[in-house]
Structure 1
Amino acid sequence: MTRFDFTPYRRNTVGFDRLFELLETTGRAAQNENYPPFNIERTGENDYKVTVAVAGFKMDEIDIVAQQNLLIVTGSKQGESNDNRDFLHMGIANRNFERRFQLADHIHVTDADMADGLLIINLVREVPEALKPRKIAIGANLTPTVIEHDAAPKKKGPQAV
């Protein structure tokens, strides 16, 4: 019997657990699925924060694209070459990346900021009023509905003299 550990798949989701969709997209995962490292945290009932370690990248080298149910963070180094430098040890990753996050329905990116080598993306769940649960009162409409009308004019009969 084969056992599956779904923990790596759950960590890329924000706001829900879409196990089957993640299993379908597993084959399309990038080879460097652990780069760059990231955190996902819940900061409120409907608020989330994704923090991506992007040391060595400048703001103009990072792109954030939010599509329906998908957040894509891309880092592209521009024109820097290490060919003329003689490294004794090169332990700091300096490569392009693309990190994809599956988002639940109604999760929207509010803003993003970058400080101290960390990219911080704030998300919020905004469920439309029509989809929010509402309480229905029982027996709230017990009074009968009356249709208003004008009184019928009285018929004129024989007049007494």
Structure 2
Amino acid sequence: MRTFDLAPLYRSTVGFDRLFSMLDGFEAAPGYPPYNIERTGENDYRITVAVAGFGESELSIESKENALTIKGEKQVKQDNAGEVLYQGIAARAFERQFQLADYVQVKGATLENGLLHVDLVREIPEAKKPRQIAINGKSSSQPKVVDQKAA
């Protein structure tokens, strides 16, 4: 339940509608399934989702624009081997969505020991990386670009 109005911010800003929509729809995140987000390198990340009881065929991962969606749907088995007295392992369907920053891409995914690991990497294009510009004297009219790797 929200107690503040974002309407005045919509009227005075341009291009932030996505941010306000995210704030407008913010609710407590569901607790199932639990997950971790870790940084494994300077530009490498890993999302680990606890998916105990789910097989590879019951999980799907979709990356679209800046969103990563992980879905799980348990296939119902007709097993007459015995009666379940207590079911503590959740077998319900889930959908977990993560917002990715610009230039973050999914590198791969593995399923081991009930944990789904999704590896991400941030690859900034060369044109977007900062570069050093050398300052020339009055004798040269052409600017000289200094390669940052060689410096």
**Structure 1, unaligned runs of 5 or more:** 4-17, 146-161
Q: Deviations over 1:101-159 (max 9, x none)?
A: 000011000000000000000000011111111111111673368xxxxxxxxxxxxxx
In 1, Cα distance between equivalents of 2:98 and 2:71: 12
Tell me which of 106, 118, 122 is aligned to 1:125.
Answer: 122
Aligned pairs, number:
128
Q: Name which structure has the greater RCO, CA cutoff 8 Å, separation 6+.
A: 1
Q: Percent identity?
A: 50
Cα RMSD (Å) of the superposition?
2.9
Specify the alignment match of 1:100 in structure 2: 97
- What TM-score, normalized by structure 1, do the two folds share? 0.69
Give 1:16-95 correspondences, 5 Å limit.
Answer: 20=20, 22-26=22-26, 33-81=30-78, 85-95=82-92
1:135–1:93 Cα change, 3 Å: same
- Structure 2, unaligned stretches of length 5 or more? 4-17, 143-151
Aligned-partner Cα distance in 1 for 2:37–2:94? 18
Q: 1:136 to 1:113 in 2, by over 3 A?
A: same
What SS does structure 2 have at the residue aligned with 1:22? helix
Q: Which residue of 1 aligns with 2:139?
A: 142
More strand by proportion, 1 or 2? 2
Once residues 73 and 23 of structure 1 are traced to their aligned partners in structure 2, the CA distance between those partners, rounded to angstroms, is 22
